[in-house]
Amino acid sequence: MEHHGMLIVISGPSGAGKGTLCGLLLEKDKNLALSVSVTTRLPRDGEKEGENYFFTSVEDFQEKIKNNEFLEWAKVYNNYYGTPREFVEKYLKDGRDVILEIDIQGAAQIKKNYPDAVFIFILPPDLEELKNRIIKRGSETLDSFNLRINYAREELRAIFMYDYVVVNDNLENALSKIQSIVSAERCRVSRNKSLIEFVNRRDRLI
Amino acid sequence: MEHHGMLIVISGPSGAGKGTLCGLLLEKDKNLALSVSVTTRLPRDGEKEGENYFFTSVEDFQEKIKNNEFLEWAKVYNNYYGTPREFVEKYLKDGRDVILEIDIQGAAQIKKNYPDAVFIFILPPDLEELKNRIIKRGSETLDSFNLRINYAREELRAIFMYDYVVVNDNLENALSKIQSIVSAERCRVSRNKSLIEFVNRRDRLI
């Protein structure tokens, strides 16, 4: 059965465990591909160019915006983040489903331009837990911490733009739910155009 | 997390394996309940009152229609089939998800009255296979066979009313897909009203 690649948008408050979940998802399902974002923020310890992000300058990023090279882009915590269009569209053409781990501003742009995308919101089990996780991350001043917490609150209200919500109270459960969502979305009538053609063709045989 | 029961409508051509799949689904997921339909057709060998169907007379069935006792009802192959309203609504109130294995006429009525229901269409791997399965069932005159085949063709065109399509080429795969659909639908933002209230409540704590 021919399978057109679909876009899977994954968002959620910073510290909800999106990154870990996306990594596990990719390990388990070889038809999935992860979009690597372009960013102007500095690499954190251990982050690798082309794997976690494509790191670039503000000037280069703004040039790419002008050239319409982003599927979506957003400015978060004074840094730019963008999804490279060519990179993602190549995967989709190959029939791969592409995960975009992006923020709510970016998700809103995808929703407008790709209404067929699947929108999943990851929630931490509770917000105290979320605060602790952000504090533990450490690499923050109090200002950047407050900025991040306020952004997290804003993000939570964006939940209504999403199709699905998954509470990451347990990594295994959360992973299994996201896998179910991906698997279910692949069964959508509207995504199985070749199957529908098959139905119509076979129908004439009787 | 509070979970409101949802209606899951499963349809598909006669012989697609809906009954077997529903049986397996119920075994694996104790939160699911199967709606037992009322019918005026005669019991087949081995069918049990209250388990496969509630068997009744045409007169009684028509009386129940008048009294608005059906969630949906349809006349198929000269027999009446109906979903008893009280039976289903009791399960939903208890937070159970209820499977309705019903035909496309019934599904259309559910779609109108319960737009939040989940609609799954089961397809046999191909229609030759379907013909063979119907022939094997045996208990048919040529007339009733032709009636059934024509109805199957009609049903296939109804696929566009459904949310999901599952090809039953392999029982295990098909079962797993339906389980994913149920699991995914339980994660729908619109179905998790208590979770959304939780988000709003916690939000004020920071």
pLDDT value of position A80: 94
User: Residue A156: what pLDDT?
Assistant: 72
In a 13 Å sphere around the CA of B165, the CA atoms on its Cβ side amount to 24
Looking at per-residue pLDDT, the higher value among A106 and A148 belongs to A106
Top pLDDT among B94 and B126 is at B94
Domain of B193?
Answer: 7-35+96-203
When pLDDT is averaged across residues A26-45 and rounded to a whole number, the result is: 94
| Structural domain includes residue A77 | no
Task: Determine whether the interchain pair A203/B127 forms a contact, defined as Cβ–Cβ distance below 8 Å.
Answer: yes
| Ramachandran assignment for A50, one of left (phi > 0), alpha (psi -120 to 50 degrees), beta (any other) | left
| Facing A202 at nearest CB: one of B126, B177, B192 | B126
Residue type, A109: Q
Inside any domain, residue B165: yes
Token code pair at residue B129: 């296979």
Place B192 in a pLDDT band, splitting at 50, 70 and 90.
confident
Binary contact (A189, B157; C-beta < 8 A): no
**Does residue A86 belong to any structural domain of this protein?**
no
CATH number at residue B164: 3.40.50.300
| Mean pLDDT score of chain A | 85
With CA atoms as reference, the chain A residue closest to B199 would be A156
Q: Which two tokens stand for residue B31?
A: 């939160």
CA B204 centroid distance within chain: 42
The pLDDT value recorded for residue B27 is 95
Q: Could you tell me if residue A26 is inside a domain? A: yes
State whether A189 and B153 contact (CB < 8 Å).
no
Alpha-carbon distance of A52 to A46, in angstroms, equals: 9
Gap between the Cα atoms of B38 and B84, Å rounded: 7
Please say whether the beta carbons of B71 and B90 come within 8 A: no
Residue B148 has pLDDT above 80, yes or no: no
- Indicate the pairing of strand B32-34 with strand B97-101: parallel
> Average pLDDT in the A127-147 region?
64
Gyration radius of chain B over CA positions = 18
Query: pLDDT class for A206, splitting at 50, 70, 90?
Result: very low
Window from A110-124, A165-179, B25-39, B189-203 with minimum mean pLDDT: B189-203
In a domain, B136, yes or no: yes
Q: How high is the mean pLDDT of chain B?
A: 85
Domain count, chain B: 1
pLDDT at B206: 42
How far is the alpha carbon of B34 from chain A, nearest alpha carbon, in Å? Answer: 21
Rounded average pLDDT over A172-186: 97
- Residues of chain B contacting A, Cβ within 8 Å: 1, 120-121, 123, 126-128, 131, 149, 153, 156-157, 159-160, 162-167, 176-177, 179-181, 183-185, 187-189, 192, 195-196, 199, 202-203, 205-206
Provide the residue count of chain A: 206
User: Nearest 5°: phi and psi at A74?
Assistant: -155, 155
End-to-end CA distance of chain B: 22
Question: Which pLDDT value is given to residue A77?
Answer: 80
**Identity (one letter) of the amino acid at A39?**
T
Name, in order, each residue with C-beta under 8 angstroms of B132's C-beta and a sequence gap of 6 or more: none
CA-wise closest residue to B113 among B90, B85, B155, B87: B85
Q: Does any domain span residue A166?
A: yes
- Please give the C-alpha separations between residue A117 and each of A9, A10, A85, B78, B84, in angstroms, as whole numbers: 7, 10, 15, 43, 37
pLDDT in tens, A55-90: 999 999 999 999 999 999 988 889 999 999 999 999
Residue with tokens 């939903």: B92
The reply to whether A47 falls in a domain is: no
Average pLDDT over residues A84-104: 93
Give the pLDDT confidence score for residue A139 in this predicted structure. 56
A4 φ, ψ to 5°?
A: -80, 135
> Is residue B101 assigned to a domain?
yes
A183 and B176 in contact by Cβ < 8 A? yes
